[in-house]
Amino acid sequence: MTEYKRLGDYIREVIDRLKRIQKTNVTTYVREKCLQHNNAHNSIRDIEEDTTIAASYKNQAIMASVNSGNIPLDELELYLRKVPVEE
């Protein structure tokens, strides 16, 4: 049983390390790519309909609005669950 415990501990360490890496990646992405697209929109729909934001920058504008607190995380989650997965 100790082998399983060690394996479980190792897996938890790897998962924690990957979570830290992912958090760093998201923080860096928001800081370097999204903040330049900061806007005052309060919904994802408003960003999608805003013709002054190029289609290629819509996701960055969404992340900037979420980061600034204009769009709640719940709305972002619903939006992301509807986005088709590319394979």
Give the rounded distance of the alpha carbon of 42 from its chain centre: 17
pTM of the model: 0.68
What confidence score (pLDDT) does residue 84 get? 86
What confidence score (pLDDT) does residue 34 get? 74
What confidence score (pLDDT) does residue 29 get? 84
Work out whether the CA dihedral 31, 40, 53, 63 comes out positive or negative: positive
Q: Note down pLDDT in tens along the chain; length 87 residues.
A: 688 889 999 999 999 999 999 999 988 888 887 777 778 899 999 999 999 999 999 988 998 899 889 999 999 999 999 988 876
What confidence score (pLDDT) does residue 1 get? 62
Q: How far apart are CA 73 and CA 25, in angstroms?
A: 18
Q: How far apart are CA 2 and CA 25, in angstroms?
A: 35
